[in-house]
Amino acid sequence: MVTSMEILEELTAMKDVSQAGHLMRFFKCGVGEYGYGDRFLGLKVPQTRMIVKAAGHDVPLGEIEKLLYSEWHEARLCGFLLLVEEMKAALPRRNDIPVRGAERRDELAAFYLRHARQANNWDLVDLSCPKILGEWLLHPQSDGGLPSRDILDQLACSSNLWEQRIAIVTTLRLIKEGRFDDTLRIAAKFLSHPHDLIHKATGWMLREVGKKDERTLASFLEENYARMPRTTLRYAIERMDEADRRYWLMRKS
């Protein structure tokens, strides 16, 4: 068994004060900013991934939970990346019966949802939810049925910014399978959202839909462009050709 204390010791051994200061500015940790109060050791993501890889599947959920409640951003990231690896291991392999690992997937998804608010910056959300909740939603439970997508709407209606971002970014995994309904539904809910982090995430997911099916994106824009935040629109049309981008921006003006 690998403990949270052992992992934290490894993270701390790579501490970089100069890099920590840069990260605190990048992730908006000043007074009044969305990341206020977060603390960084100064590790780069590949360094954290290296520790996750070395730990393998030897970190119990109880120890992962301790990492998720650490004061250090990199420790929380490590905890979420360990969960990603656990979910990956619980997915059915080729030629497996689809329900293989279903109980473990349910356990991991429930664990993630219980502690979702610890993903309290955009990188923690974006690096975890598609590969945990997204995978869970795509694979059958023990009774053969798929998990309810209602959880996305519940998260979208949360008062917590990070749970709201989880709601939309989780759909990245569904988009990759050509399933757009959840993205479009949650995106429509967020068109009046006040926060720039949600504007950006929503536009990003709409852009991903457009990469798969530009017609579906154009239809959504036609119906909603007038009430879309300009940031969301800019992100959504980023991969269109210049003439189409200009068309939508002029209509928004």
Question: Could you give the CA distance from residue 230 to residue 250 in angstroms, rounded to a whole number?
Answer: 11
**Region for 144 from its dihedrals, namely left if φ exceeds 0, alpha if ψ lies in -120 to 50, beta otherwise:** left
Q: Is residue 79 part of a domain?
A: yes
Residues 70-112 have pLDDT tens digits of 999 999 999 999 999 999 999 999 888 999 999 999 999 999 9
- CATH at residue 91: 1.25.10.90
Res 253 pLDDT > 80: no
Q: Is residue 69 part of a domain?
A: yes
Residues 8-66 have pLDDT tens digits of 999 999 999 999 999 999 999 999 999 999 999 999 999 999 999 999 999 999 999 99
Q: Is residue 204 part of a domain?
A: no
Q: Cα separations (Å) of 5 from 13, 43, 64, 138, 225?
A: 12, 17, 10, 34, 50
The model's pTM is 0.96
Q: Is residue 99 part of a domain?
A: yes
Question: Could you give the CA distance from residue 173 to residue 137 in angstroms, rounded to a whole number?
Answer: 9
Q: Is residue 73 part of a domain?
A: yes
The boundaries of the domain holding residue 54 are: 1-111
Q: Is residue 87 part of a domain?
A: yes
Question: Could you give the CA distance from residue 253 to residue 249 in angstroms, rounded to a whole number?
Answer: 6
Of the candidates 41, 48, 72, 169, the one whose C-alpha atom is nearest the C-alpha of residue 112 is 169
Predicted confidence band at 137 (pLDDT cuts at 50, 70, 90)? very high
Domain tally, the chain:
1
Q: Is residue 39 part of a domain?
A: yes
Q: What is the mean pLDDT of the chain?
A: 97
pLDDT of 201 = 98
Q: Is residue 242 part of a domain?
A: no
